[in-house]
Amino acid sequence: MTHSEINPTAKGSGTAATDKFKHEAIKSDTSTERANEIYKDLLAAIADVAHKHEVTYDEYRVLKNWMIQVGEYGEWPLWLDVFVEHEIEKINYNRHHYTGTKGSIEGPYYVENSPELPWKCEMPMREQDKAAQPLIFQGQVTDVDGKGLGGATVELWHADEEGFYSQFAPGIPEWNLRGTIVTNENGEYEIKTLQPAPYQIPADGPTGWFIESYGGHPWRPAHLHLKVKSPGYREITTQLYFQGGEWIDNDVATAVKPELLLDPQTDADSNNIVNYSFALDKKE
Ligand code: DHB
Ligand code: FE
């Protein structure tokens, strides 16, 4: 398949995201008492909105049909990660007194067990990816006092220069632009990759219809996804964005934080270079 033949559909990426999610361990130790409180508040919140706007029967049926379609297109992971996950992420960051690097949403396109790469490496990429603007991402994984954490892992995944993710758009090699980088004895890494493009969430399915219905846009700013882990430390799931980039100020997924902006400089070889380090909190 050539470059231009990659033509992902909402149904295709939705189904892939749903299939992947179904294979994850999904459980919670929520008590019956807590479930009862949440259930009551949830229904009360729905009732408040319905009364406030005097929702019509036509609107109720449109909602019912839309929810059925979201399921049939496999788009619940997409819709929830765009419109709800950022609040859950914020709640769980604020629950503790973390001082390390800020988190952001995981999104629907993380895949575990990406190939291990040495601290200084190039991400798996195709010939065509090499034509994109190169990005050298370097830094150090430390504890909150700045001590380097050797052997930490930095899982990196991001979209290509067209905004597509491997394993969720057709025709891209399985581990393209996905890797698990192991830091050197000082906790350092130096990763050569490419500058990702802004990402348009699938607009030809129910999430797209939803956005269109309220006059919104389906764009996320260009971003890198990361998970940083070291034994004994709290794992960080985050994203990094590019200062001044398109959609930074109005991300459809509301997941940009000022602490997560990169400002790469161009070196003599026309590579964009940027330094960003991660500080991990000790596990409680
Ligand atoms: C979605 C995609 C992303 O890349 C992301 O970071 C968050 C959400 C989505 O399509 O739902
Ligand atoms: Fe993403």
Place of tokens 């398949």: 1
Q: Which residues line ligand 1 (CB under 6 A)?
A: 78, 81-82, 105, 107-109, 199, 201, 220, 253
Pick the closest to residue 71 from 8, 21, 5, 24 (CA basis).
21
Residue nearest to atom 3 of ligand 1 (CA): 107
CA of 146 to the centre of ligand 1 (A): 31
Classify 10-284 by CATH class: mainly beta
Inform me whether the pLDDT recorded for 10 exceeds 90.
Answer: no
Inform me whether the pLDDT recorded for 7 exceeds 70.
Answer: no
- Residue 179 CA, distance from chain mean position: 15
The Cα–Cα gap between 177 and 165 comes to 8
Residue nearest to atom 5 of ligand 1 (CA): 107
DSSP string, 112-139: SSPPEE-SEEE----GGGGGSPEEEEEE
The Cα–Cα gap between 185 and 179 comes to 19
The Cα–Cα gap between 104 and 255 comes to 6
Tell me the pTM. 0.92
With vertex at residue 89, the alpha carbon angle to CA 190 and CA 73, rounded to the nearest 5 degrees, is: 95
Do the Cβ atoms of 129 and 161 come closer than 8 Å?
A: yes
* Ligand 1 atom nearest 77 alpha carbon: 11
CA of 223 to the centre of ligand 2 (A): 6
- Mean pLDDT, residues 85-107: 89
| Tens-digit pLDDT profile for residues 242-263 | 999 999 999 999 999 999 999 9
> In the chain, what percentage of residues exceed pLDDT 70?
98
Do the Cβ atoms of 273 and 138 come closer than 8 Å?
A: yes
3 state SS of 199: strand
Ordered by start, the domain boundaries in the chain are 10-284
Q: What is the DSSP letter of 255?
A: -
Residue nearest to atom 9 of ligand 1 (CA): 78
Place of tokens 């997924």: 253
The Cα–Cα gap between 284 and 282 comes to 6
Residue 182's pLDDT is: 98
One-letter amino acid of 224: L
Q: Which is it for the CA torsion 239, 169, 17, 49, positive or negative?
A: positive
Residue 1's pLDDT is: 39
| Tens-digit pLDDT profile for residues 40-61 | 999 999 999 999 999 999 999 9
CA of 37 to the centre of ligand 2 (A): 33
